[in-house]
């Protein structure tokens, strides 16, 4: 099996429109949550939840012309932008000679909800003849990897994943497996989500999944805190360039980290609640550790799924204790969703970038808003301030509605 390394990263979040600005804000413990800026057809007075972690001041035109931007849903714009950022970071040139060996795996938990919202308004207000001929391609989840392959020339394996909030953990993990078995030399892998729309906010709120902490939006996402009352909707995208080690070395690539473990499991339990004791996540973490040939006490940092919901945070804590034993009390854990909100299908990729940056810089970003520790969540969640540490190995957990669990393990690269 080939070794697989990371050579490039791209990211857009509510904290910044690239990796550097987002990472700086995360290390400073800044929140990207604010009152939602409504748009046509989105009257915030009708909604109980009036805040989210929206992307701000994002301009797609450095990555595509205006005509192309209009033909892509905002989630696709984000996928294209972060893919191009990652390619530029990696200095990987896609040519006629290597295009067949470079693929694209990109996922989204929901896809083109902004377009869906807009086109339904047009249908009801102006009739069926006014529906855009680009509507289907703008809405479906495989629009993103398709558009990225067209715009970059990557002709290798190409598909979209949908596994709710575990989506981009799966795309990265499956891209790793694709390179390891020799079906590609390099992959663009990650996820994108732009789902702060009226129907999504209403639906998640009606299922009692969202925080209703309107009086203090920046304090609403508070993973592992005893007062947590739900997650905060976020927007974002992140992409990694994964490469076969020998391919990367032959072209003189700068290697950022090595991906060494991946585990994916199902709870087979409930549509929204995690399995008791986090049994599915335990199995995902153990599979990732087994593939990485690591003992639990060799993990230096865990980026938790940490959604700020009552069930998730307690269940994930139990799962980490089960998997890690006594080391669970020694390993630093943080939830960066306290700052980015929950970016649904993009969460796994965003948190993969965070994990790699922790390995590179030795900085563990904090879990902000953790002021009233839950007695049932009694591990080291790096509360409120970033921490310097030696991070040779970082684990990233993601869990999704439907019982999906994914775990990725990144390691400092060495020969």
Give the active site residues.
165, 305, 342
Task: Report whether 276 contacts 368 (CB < 8 A).
Answer: no
In angstroms, the Cα distances linking 354 to 119, 164, 304, 376 are 35, 20, 11, 26
Structure tokens belonging to residue 240: 């990694």
Q: Which of 346, 81, 383, 384 is nearest to 234 (CA)?
A: 346
CA distance 212 to 373: 20
Kindly report the backbone phi and psi dihedral angles of residue 53, in degrees, each rounded to the nearest multiple of 5, phi listed first: -100, 80
The angle subtended at Cα 237 by Cα 51 and Cα 302, nearest 5°, is 90
Q: Give the DSSP H/E element, type plus range, for residue 241.
A: strand 236-244
> Which has the closest alpha carbon to 267: 316, 332, 227, 326?
316
Residues 139, 197: contact at Cβ < 8 Å?
Answer: no
SS (H, E, C) 315-342: HHHHHHHHHHHHHHHCCCEECCHHHHCE
Q: CA–CA separation, 107 vs 22, rounded Å? A: 21
- How many Å from the N-terminal Cα to the C-terminal Cα in the chain? 16
């Amino acid at each position: 099996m080939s070794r697989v390394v990371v050579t490039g990263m791209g990211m857009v979040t509510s904290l910044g429109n690239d990796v550097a600005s987002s990472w700086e804000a995360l290390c400073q413990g800044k929140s990207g949550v604010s009152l939602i800026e409504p748009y046509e057809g989105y009257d915030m007075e009708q909604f109980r939840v009036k805040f989210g972690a929206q992307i701000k001041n994002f301009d797609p035109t450095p990555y595509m012309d205006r005509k192309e931007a209009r033909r892509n849903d905002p989630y696709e714009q984000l996928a294209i932008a972060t893919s191009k950022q990652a390619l530029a970071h990696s200095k990987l040139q896609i040519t006629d000679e290597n295009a067949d060996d470079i693929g694209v795996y990109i996922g989204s938990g929901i896809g083109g909800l902004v377009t869906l919202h807009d086109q339904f308004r047009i249908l009801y207000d102006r009739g069926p003849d006014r529906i855009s001929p680009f509507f289907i391609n703008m809405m479906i989840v495989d629009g993103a990897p398709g558009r990225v392959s067209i715009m970059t020339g990557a002709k290798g394996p190409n598909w979209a994943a949908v596994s709710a909030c575990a989506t981009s953990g799966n795309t990265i993990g499956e891209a790793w497996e694709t390179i390891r078995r020799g079906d590609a030399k390099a992959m663009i892998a990650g996820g994108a989500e732009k789902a702060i729309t009226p129907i999504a906010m209403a639906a998640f709120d009606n299922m009692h999944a969202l925080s209703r902490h309107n009086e203090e939006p920046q304090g609403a996402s508070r993973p592992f805190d005893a007062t947590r009352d739900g997650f905060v909707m976020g927007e974002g995208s992140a992409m990694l360039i994964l490469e076969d080690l020998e391919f990367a070395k032959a072209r003189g690539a700068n290697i950022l980290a090595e991906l060494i473990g991946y585990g994916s499991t199902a709870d087979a339990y409930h549509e929204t609640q995690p399995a008791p004791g986090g049994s599915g996540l335990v199995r995902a973490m153990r599979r990732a550790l087994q593939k990485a040939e690591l003992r639990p006490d060799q993990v230096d940092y865990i980026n938790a799924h940490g959604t700020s919901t009552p069930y998730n945070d307690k269940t994930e804590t139990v799962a980490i204790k089960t998997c890690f034993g006594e080391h669970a009390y020694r390993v630093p854990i943080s939830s960066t969703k306290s700052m980015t909100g929950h970016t649904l299908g993009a969460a796994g990729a965003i948190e993969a970038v965070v994990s790699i940056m922790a390995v590179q810089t030795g900085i563990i970003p904090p879990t902000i808003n953790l002021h009233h520790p839950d007695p049932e969540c009694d591990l080291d969640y790096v509360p409120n301030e970033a921490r310097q540490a030696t991070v040779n190995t970082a684990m990233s957990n993601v869990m999704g509605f439907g019982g999906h669990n994914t775990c990725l393990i990144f390691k400092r690269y060495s020969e």
